[in-house]
Structure 1
């Protein structure tokens, strides 16, 4: 068995705990070389091609496409052509847990009970079951062991019906038995399953006095006739009043099967009446990771926020001059913001820190590794401009452009989006004037940058127009105090409003 090698789920970064095999790039029986892409693996942040760790032949695919496995779990087996399948089976039996093998094996149908005599004696057990009840064949009957590897719903159903779960193969992860597996086994064995109808949920109705709600007279009369409280209606009419359409919409909310009055006076039933007016979309692994990390940040990090207005007229003029005179350089305002933040972190290094939860200590960083938030259809990712304080504006611009391209293509390496010391989230391109952002743990601060816009300001007693950007700094109060955050914003303002300092 020395010629047999196991291909396992890789660990890309310290935070990676599991990966989903999205696509196999090498078919079974195909030879590959070390470094060749063999499959695509999706993590909580990226989808990347996994390179072969050695030369070999892909003899057995263990992990199916779409399957999510923990780091280090077996994905496939590599072996030369002269290795027998029986040797591979023996190799897997020693290295792959039994539950994994059960999940990989094709589902076995539970055999139906053998037919008895043509005319069995009548007994209460053989009487036909009432309509609308679950009938469990004798072959599945038994007791549920306390260590049954099944979902809670499957265990509860099996206990109620007297079903032995050990007789049912599971199709879930690692061979876990689900409620659907139990239902399928009952049907395959000749029984029947009747699931109770889901309880109907209705929206709660308001009981407040709606006489003060601004509504059209016709809408008010209709609401009174239908028994609809105007507090339950969305006000979409002119001048923010509740209109007839709002009352009709509230009526449909409380009674999905209600008829709608057509323009000709006839009643029509809305299409899809009684069906859910929404689609349940499961969270992607990236969205789950974002939710978990930012929920923990909001819960554990005591946020406070400081805002400042940055005048960027000189910055815009310098950007225009550089872009017009320096070949192959196209700087964005965000490139200047990245450089200004890195320079401010160098001037106020106490903000360039992280809080270590385990040791309850502050990690002081010497390099300004700036994370830049990039929006993707599946969520948010923060590629990192390493050593931004030592890079020129042109180098920062090229780094950001390359990282954003990789992020949108899903080809970032783990070290390109993990380990930043400070984050910038810029929504100015969407016209957002100002906002505040949640700190990206374990970092201690994040800067939210709004849109640049012409505003009236007073200069030497005169009202003049200036281009201003509102920037909001969110800080972790465990390691950054208000005065320290204010000092950072002072330095940031100095660099932004005197952009020539960033060229030195």
Structure 2
């Protein structure tokens, strides 16, 4: 019997994805465990394996298709012993309107806010054609045409049965009725959130947003709009921590383990959260979730965005274990090989830009977490040491807190606990 291969849900929150690449072609024989395709989710590009054995009879969704809904039939498989040539092929399940080839350089598909329009103009796209009562165009093409002032009746469609799709809008010119906006629309323009075109005469290119970048944009915009941030900043003397790191690395050299400064800062934040449990919380509507261990999400820059792999139970792990896990997670994050459970969750985050020479910055909270610690570079500065002014290696750390869950005094207690652990690092080994 024919087996439908459906777009899988590769994470609990995945609703759609991009079919980045097919690793098989029609006529190929596959068995359970063979790789079928590479699928791009909002966090990573993941490999999709076959579950059943048989022959690929039809690829329903071409590679490069975006916005493919979970559950969409992307290919069919003739079961073992079945004649692939005689296997029935189901009609292609409808893709999300966003599913168009990556090669299309049209601006990103995220739905923009409505553009303020000029005086109403009859919609020519609704006129009758010989094959039905309405001109055939995808909803996405209609929306983009409306935003750009394009007359769909003047555009020839390249889709099935002459349907107008997004790619057909390239190079089309706005209709005269919408090319010159009325004074009322010009007055309203500043408040519109439509994407602004590139300035004329300036060399540029339009790059389509990846699924990851769209999710980053959506989540962080939501964070700044809905989470009341407040910030607490203090300086930490790193001299003792740097000396301890050097001593520990000498002892760990035979085991092939090398501690980074960030490993020790992750440990310090994890212990500080256990010492100040009222800061290890998450706002949840009418409830406050208090965590009994510290799982730290560490921000890792990857091509096209960032991802936050999680080191669980930081307070209960040795520094060598944290260093080993952090190195492995960061490497696999850059290769797009993390499993969903490795970057989801976390009770707090840490973001370190010190390696770029950044002295201080304010990080955006990663919802639904209640705080994130932003760490700058350690550099030589005048600093009071044992009651006297001296030169020390000083690092500035800034905590961003969700005021719905964490009050100022509690945030300050957490920052003090973190500072104490960094400046007296032997206490982290106790």
Same fold (TM over 0.5): yes
Residues 207-226 of structure 1: per-residue CA shift (max 9 Å, x gap): xxxxxxxxxxxxxxxxxxxx
Greater strand percent: which structure? Answer: 2
The residue number in structure 2 matching 1:58 is 56
1:44, 1:341 → 2: CA distance? 27
The residue number in structure 1 matching 2:195 is none
Q: Give 1:97-116 correspondences, 5 Å limit.
A: 97=93
SS of alignment partner, residue 231 of structure 2 = strand
Does residue 44 (structure 1) correspond to residue 42 (structure 2)? The answer is yes
The residue number in structure 1 matching 2:302 is 376
The residue number in structure 1 matching 2:159 is 170
The residue number in structure 1 matching 2:82 is 82
Looking at both structures, which has the greater relative contact order when contacts are Cα pairs under 8 Å and sequence separation is at least 6?
2
10-19 vs 416-425, which moves further: 10-19
Q: What root-mean-square deviation, in Å, do the aligned CA atoms of Structure 1 and Structure 2 show?
A: 3.5
Identify which of 340, 361, 372 aligns with 2:287: 361
The residue number in structure 2 matching 1:406 is 332
Does residue 472 (structure 1) correspond to residue 414 (structure 2)? The answer is no
Does residue 325 (structure 1) correspond to residue 251 (structure 2)? The answer is yes
Identify which of 12, 18, 21 aligns with 2:19: 21
| 2:150–2:174 CA contact under 8 A, matched in 1 | no
Runs (4+) of structure 1 exceeding 6 A deviation are 154-163, 193-200
* Superposition TM-score, scaled by structure 1 size: 0.68
1:446, 1:158 → 2: CA distance? 43
2:306, 2:350 → 1: CA distance? 12
1:181, 1:313 → 2: CA distance? 62
Q: Structure 1 pair 64/460, CA: closer, same or farther in 2 (3 Å)? A: closer
Q: Give 1:286-435 correspondences, 5 Å limit.
A: 286-326=212-252, 327=254, 328-357=256-285, 360-435=286-361
The residue number in structure 2 matching 1:70 is 69
Residues 65-94 of structure 1: per-residue CA shift (max 9 Å, x gap): 1002011211111113633545422xx13x
SS of alignment partner, residue 290 of structure 1 = helix
Q: Structure 1 pair 10/346, CA: closer, same or farther in 2 (3 Å)? A: same
| 1:22–1:42 CA contact under 8 A, matched in 2 | yes
| 1:144–1:159 CA contact under 8 A, matched in 2 | no
1:308, 1:149 → 2: CA distance? 54
CA deviation after TM superposition for structure 1 residue 389, in Å: 1.6
Q: Structure 1 pair 459/181, CA: closer, same or farther in 2 (3 Å)? A: closer
SS of alignment partner, residue 446 of structure 1 = strand
1:340, 1:285 → 2: CA distance? 34
Q: Structure 1 pair 329/307, CA: closer, same or farther in 2 (3 Å)? A: same
The residue number in structure 1 matching 2:416 is 490
2:76, 2:64 → 1: CA distance? 18
144-153 vs 30-39, which moves further: 144-153
* Superposition TM-score, scaled by structure 2 size: 0.79
Which ranges of structure 1 fall in alignment gaps of 5 or more residues?
A: 105-138, 185-192, 201-255, 257-273
CA deviation after TM superposition for structure 1 residue 361, in Å: 1.9
Q: Structure 1 pair 452/145, CA: closer, same or farther in 2 (3 Å)? A: same
Tell me the matched-pair count.
Answer: 379
Q: Structure 1 pair 356/160, CA: closer, same or farther in 2 (3 Å)? A: same
Q: Structure 1 pair 501/154, CA: closer, same or farther in 2 (3 Å)? A: closer
1:464, 1:278 → 2: CA distance? 50
2:61, 2:367 → 1: CA distance? 32
